[in-house]
Amino acid sequence: MEQYKQEFIEFMVESDVLKFGEFTLKSGRKSPFFMNAGAYVTGSQLMRLGEYYAKAIHEKYGDDFDVLFGPAYKGIPISVVTAVAFSKLYGKEVRYCSDRKEEKDHGADKGSFLGSSLKDGDRVVMIEDVTTSGKSMEETVPKVRGAANVEIVGLMVSLNRMEMGLGGKMSALDEIRETYGFPTNAIVTMEEVVEHLYNKECQGKIVINDEIKKAIDAYYEQYGCK
């Protein structure tokens, strides 16, 4: 596993973004782990987050794209810090764009989008925190494609939960790829998280012990993608 992925896994735990225990998800599933990207709140955390996203995007999609699109709300800061990191790490200027939940009908920047406007010919990388159901893509992909004649290069999320999406046949990331026809990737997968953290110390304690590992295995028996 690449060094930046190992660092990112520990960074999620250190930042209290990735937690282990028992959580009820929006879908109603009881999960032994939970990820909340809203817990990245400090300047140094956001700077590092942007750099991990930039490294993963550069590895998977290169730098032949023009715009980072982050769906509101959590995608907004992620797209901003990743655009900053891309400029810093690779000397490549990319624009950021996000959608508004409610259209603004006054002022010089009225409309459905924040940041850069989308133009014909733009190559766009979609960026999100985590995808469990793919619902946000259902709302934003038509908006992005309807705004201009753009090409969506791919989607990058923090964590691939590796569980069944709404269709019940494949993961949410695979469903998005099948539905919209662009590649989908994550900085790390849950399998990589378990591999890196199981019975290893992080922040002075064992985060995934035998009991948590057993709960994760049972969860994937029920909801995992074969």
Question: Rounded to an integer, what distance in angstroms lies between the CA atom of residue 134 and that of residue 172?
Answer: 6
Please tell me which residue in 30, 88, 104, 200 is annotated as part of the active site: 104
Question: Rounded to an integer, what distance in angstroms lies between the CA atom of residue 88 and that of residue 163?
Answer: 34
Please tell me which residue in 5, 30, 58, 106 is annotated as part of the active site: 106
21 is in an annotated binding site: no
How many residues make up the chain in this entry? Answer: 226
Tell me whether residue 104 is one of the annotated catalytic residues.
Answer: yes
Tell me whether residue 205 is one of the annotated catalytic residues.
Answer: no
The alpha helices in the chain, defined as continuous H runs, are 3-14, 43-61, 75-90, 135-147, 172-180, 190-197, 210-223
130 is in an annotated binding site: yes
132 is in an annotated binding site: yes
Question: Rounded to an integer, what distance in angstroms lies between the CA atom of residue 218 and that of residue 224?
Answer: 9
133 is in an annotated binding site: yes
128 is in an annotated binding site: yes
200 is in an annotated binding site: no
Q: What DSSP character marks residue 208?
A: B
Question: Rounded to an integer, what distance in angstroms lies between the CA atom of residue 99 and that of residue 112?
Answer: 6
205 is in an annotated binding site: no
88 is in an annotated binding site: no
98 is in an annotated binding site: no
Helix (H) or strand (E) holding 104: strand 95-104
15 is in an annotated binding site: no
29 is in an annotated binding site: no
What is the number of other CB atoms lying within 10 angstroms of the CB of residue 203?
Answer: 9
Inter-CA distances, 224 with 11, 87, 160, 183, Å: 25, 37, 11, 20
Contact between 9 and 193 under an 8 Å Cβ cutoff? The reply is yes
Beta strands 184-189 and 151-160, pairing class? parallel
214 is in an annotated binding site: no
The residues annotated as belonging to the active site are 104, 106
**Binding-site entries:** 26, 73-74, 100-101, 104, 106, 128-136, 161
**Binding-site entries for orotate:** 132, 161
**Binding-site entries for 5-phospho-alpha-D-ribose 1-diphosphate:** 26, 73-74, 100-101, 104, 106, 128-136
